[in-house]
């Protein structure tokens, strides 16, 4: 399979070499950058390979990036719909319904969000799609998808550095007294229950900011914003406060009639690393 052009880019400033752009500005992984160099994956505006990666480029130089062997192995699930909230040459923002996993646990598995995404990408002639973060199976909402390996590398680092603001809406049991607050409690594995997480002094640091949106008869609607992204973080933190997510029986929430729990990832905000524009994506 030949190279596929994935995006065009205009250099914003002079004195930036191709190597600096890929390695330093975009934090491209060594393997990806090496593969791109060997396969002459960086072209000029006339689609001619740029062989000199160490000479500074003039501001406004147009580059065309292609990626050899950038192929994801998810099976395409063409039977299920996919809601796309945002798309450009670098990323997709899609909605994961409650009740399906973000990605397969093993080869050949289908029925997950990434199987739906792969079908969508393949219809557009693409072969690459990788999730940048995950949502629990029972949580619905926005998931970011990388459309090429450099985007994957860059957004992974943005997640690690907590520069992507992730906002959730939860309905929780009972009446939360404080109108807003910050929960700073480390989260670790529950040794007695492999699927559970607990507040644990030996766990990883975890920070959740919250504010009350609405008080109902027996529940409270809470907006929560993650500063860290630990497994089950919002569910564990709110349960520890004595207000588990409604329907989240794993963490002692009151069961719901439909068996789901009330937690949705409703917004993402970040500075787009390629366009340098402030982005906010909402459901």
Given the residues 24, 44, 88, 136, the one annotated as active site? 136
Euclidean distance between CA atoms 206 and 204, whole angstroms: 6
Q: Is 136 in the active site?
A: yes
* Number of separate helices (H) and strands (E) present in the chain: 5, 15
> Sign of the CA dihedral 255, 259, 262, 265?
positive
Those residues whose C-beta lies under 8 Å from the C-beta of residue 195, and which sit 6 or more positions away, are: 250
φ, ψ at 24 (rounded to 5°): -95, -55
- Return all residues near 266 (Cβ < 8 A) that are at least 6 apart: 141, 142, 167, 168, 169, 282, 283
* Partners of 87 in the β-ladder: 92
Nearest Cα residue to 252 out of 193, 178, 184, 191? 193
Instruction: Compute how many other C-beta atoms are within 10 angstroms of the C-beta atom of residue 169.
Output: 18
How many alpha carbons lie under 13 Å from residue 69 in its C-beta half-sphere?
9
Rounded Cα–Cα distance for residues 279 and 155 (Å): 13
Cα 109 to Cα 45, 74, 99, 138: the distances in Å are: 41, 8, 15, 18
Which residues are the active-site residues?
136
């Amino acid at each position: 399979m030949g190279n596929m052009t994935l995006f065009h880019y205009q250099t914003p400033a002079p004195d930036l070499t191709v190597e600096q752009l890929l390695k330093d500005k975009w934090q491209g992984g060594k393997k990806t950058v090496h593969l791109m160099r060997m396969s002459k994956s960086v072209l000029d505006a006339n689609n001619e390979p740029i062989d000199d990666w160490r000479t500074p480029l003039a501001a406004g130089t147009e580059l065309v990036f292609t990626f050899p062997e950038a192929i994801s192995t998810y099976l395409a699930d063409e039977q299920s719909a996919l809601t796309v909230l945002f798309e450009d040459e670098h990323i997709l923002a899609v909605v994961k319904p409650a009740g399906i996993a973000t990605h397969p646990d093993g080869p050949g598995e289908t029925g997950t969000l990434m199987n739906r995404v792969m079908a969508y990408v393949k219809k557009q002639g693409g072969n690459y799609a990788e999730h940048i973060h995950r949502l629990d199976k029972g949580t619905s909402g926005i998931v970011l998808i990388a459309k090429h390996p450099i985007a994957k590398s860059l957004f992974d680092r943005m997640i690690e550095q907590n520069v992507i603001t992730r906002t959730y809406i939860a309905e929780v049991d009972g009446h939360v007294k404080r109108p807003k607050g910050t929960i700073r409690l480390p989260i670790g594995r529950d040794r007695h229950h492999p699927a559970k997480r607990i507040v644990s002094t030996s766990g990883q640091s975890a920070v959740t900011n919250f504010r009350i949106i609405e008080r109902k008869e027996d529940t409270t609607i809470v907006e929560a914003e993650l500063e860290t992204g630990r497994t089950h973080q919002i569910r564990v933190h709110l349960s520890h406060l004595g207000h588990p997510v409604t329907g989240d029986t794993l963490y002692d929430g009151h069961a719901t009639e439909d068996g789901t729990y009330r937690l949705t990832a409703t917004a993402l905000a970040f500075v787009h690393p390629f366009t340098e524009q402030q982005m906010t994506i909402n459901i």
